[in-house]
Chain A
């Protein structure tokens, strides 16, 4: 579904991640893992068309995403659904209007059909009946689910999640995980998610890539469960088991420096 080859991403002269290659199979849930600030979200930005990579290619289906014309890229992007970290709901519109806007702008559906589809998307994320609420009246978990309903608006082939469970309590996070899996099973959507929430990663992901902030590239490939049990790279091992790296001076210093 998505094939990334020799990709480098960065801002200006600063390279955040380089030489990344991986393949996301259709219908799988793929995790982009790594510590804070390692460039996970930057990589995601390159995949959803917000940041042009400095080198390498991204193929979506059989098409070279960044080599395509702007119009063509927007066309491919219509097959994407993105859930941003904080939901990114448009605050001036109700939840229903948020979900309806992509359909209004990108399809020729009539108002009645749009209303019905909005209702279905909201039902699917468990927010049926909450369509008339303004985003600022929603809790964090509900805001995420409303964002998910909006991401589903155009029945995307690929769903991207930026830190889906960040800021949610364990139960709400678990519920969102289930929802992601159910939607994947139902619609057959391919899912790419950026996360460092270990329980979610182990629970739902079929495959993944581990980005390292030190070497600025991918240091491990595979399902999170597999990396937890089998990978012996010290950074990955420490991450998956919530350990401190023995040779990290800052961390060991911290261990003795408590007041």
Chain B
């Protein structure tokens, strides 16, 4: 017996009887599938099929696919297939593949009013959950300060290190550049009026009031917020959070509280640091490109920036820190359990934080304006 190269089949029809001769090698990845063979065989009009496999070579799922398709088509067409002529292993696979098919869940369509209702419920629960989160953050923080929480000091220090010390290089780079850019932008306009000196007050006020707090918060959203969400989501996926609950460790105190306290505590310090390096960036650009002496720049900044502006910046940075930490931890805790969910959680944490920070900044701007600050 010499097996020909590629797969082949031929149907010898004799009235209602047909003998299907299978030949050659039926290897799926080499010869592909003959997906329309079954209807063609049925179209011959035969209603009882037997097989001749004398010239059949090697075979794999390609043959099984052919036989299954034929069996299904024959079943629908009321024809019979006698599997006796097939190789015994192929018969075993055919019987394995005919096992029960688990019932598939029907996709339900949801009516519009129901959808609106579900949406309303989810918005309400969301609001409640956020309020609960803010409330329990305050309560548990107070408990932690009195030393009455499950939070461990070491964890808090680690979080402070990750969110604060480790973030210094990037906070420096971004704030110096922003200060420098402000000086450049101001210089272009102010030089026309010979008001070079006001570049100093522009840089000072813009950095202290807005840019230091905002830029630092955006950096922390991407850097720390994303990391919080990803870490907690990964723990969720590995059942680590279930394990914490099972041994009775309060998840909020243990995982969320140190992160919220660390970021909220570190942000004002990073803000002050950002102010210093931002003004320094503006200083370098102004002194290098404008007709300004270093002393006059420093004096002008000193007279332009008031304590209330620092107060506003500090309040902003505190709020931003708390917002980023709470939003990220919440996203992490609500994440699903798969790898894709971790990515989604990190993305959603960064987006929520950045949008939240900018929206809050707008609220601050309106309030400051109303208060005449």
Contact = CB atoms under 8 A, between A and B. Distances in A.
A110 B97 CA distance: 22
Interface string A108-122: 111011001100110
Contacts of B28: 107, 109, 113, 117, 155
B337 to A, nearest CB: 6
Nearest to A93: B340
B338 A110 contact: no
B61 A120 contact: yes
Contacts of A258: none
A135 B338 contact: yes
Nearest to B64: A120
A132 B103 CA distance: 12
B89 A187 contact: yes
B90 interface: yes
Contact of B93 (A116, A127, A187): A187
Interface residues of A, number: 36
B89 A185 contact: yes
B32 A113 contact: yes
A116 B64 contact: no
Contact of A124 (B96, B100, B339): B96
B102 A182 contact: no
Contact of B97 (A90, A106, A123, A188): A123
A36 interface: no
A130 interface: yes
Contact of B33 (A90, A113, A127, A183): A113
A81 B261 CA distance: 49
Contact of A91 (B64, B65, B69, B338): B338
Interface in A194-212: none
Contacts of B92: 182, 185-186
Contact of A155 (B60, B89, B341): B60
Contacts of B103: 129
A92 B99 CA distance: 28
Contacts of A61: none
A109 B32 CA distance: 6
A191 interface: no
B97 A120 contact: yes
Interface in A78-134: 90-92, 103, 106-110, 112-113, 116-117, 120-121, 123-124, 126-130, 132, 134
A91 B339 contact: yes
Contact of A92 (B32, B35, B339): B339
Contact of A130 (B60, B98, B104, B339): B104
Contacts of A182: 92-93, 96
A154 interface: yes
B336 interface: yes
B60 A129 contact: no
Category for how many chain B residues contact A: 20 to 34
Contacts of B61: 117, 120-121, 152, 155
A136 interface: yes
A152 B60 CA distance: 10
B351 interface: no
Interface string B192-232: 00000000000000000000000000000000000000000
A155 B29 contact: yes
Contacts of A128: 97, 99, 101-102
A92 B340 CA distance: 6
B141 to A, nearest CB: 34
A188 B88 CA distance: 11
Contacts of B340: 91-92
B27 interface: yes
B43 to A, nearest CB: 19
Contacts of A107: 28-29
Nearest to B66: A116
A187 B69 CA distance: 18
Given A126-B100, A128-B99, A155-B28, A117 B68 contact: no
Interface string B131-162: 00000000000000000000000000000000
Residue of B29, B69, B102 most packed against chain A (CB within 10 A): B29
B276 to A, nearest CB: 45
A179 B95 CA distance: 12
Nearest to B105: A133
Interface in A127-154: 127-130, 132, 134-136, 152, 154
A129 to B, nearest CB: 5
B216 to A, nearest CB: 34
A91 B344 CA distance: 13
Contacts of A116: 33, 35, 65, 69
Interface in B36-68: 60-61, 64-65, 68
A150 to B, nearest CB: 13
Contacts of B35: 112-113, 116
Given A128-B102, A130-B102, A183-B96, 6 more contacts: A113-B35, A117-B28, A120-B68, A128-B97, A185-B89, A187-B89
22 contacts: A106-B29, A107-B28, A109-B29, A109-B32, A110-B32, A113-B28, A116-B33, A116-B35, A116-B69, A117-B33, A117-B61, A120-B68, A121-B61, A124-B96, A127-B102, A129-B103, A130-B102, A136-B337, A155-B27, A155-B29, A179-B96, A186-B92
Query: Which 6 pairs of residues, A with B, have the shortest CB-CB distance?
Result: A91-B338, A186-B93, A92-B340, A155-B60, A113-B33, A123-B97
Interface of B: 27-29, 32-33, 35, 60-61, 64-65, 68-69, 89-90, 92-93, 96-104, 336-341
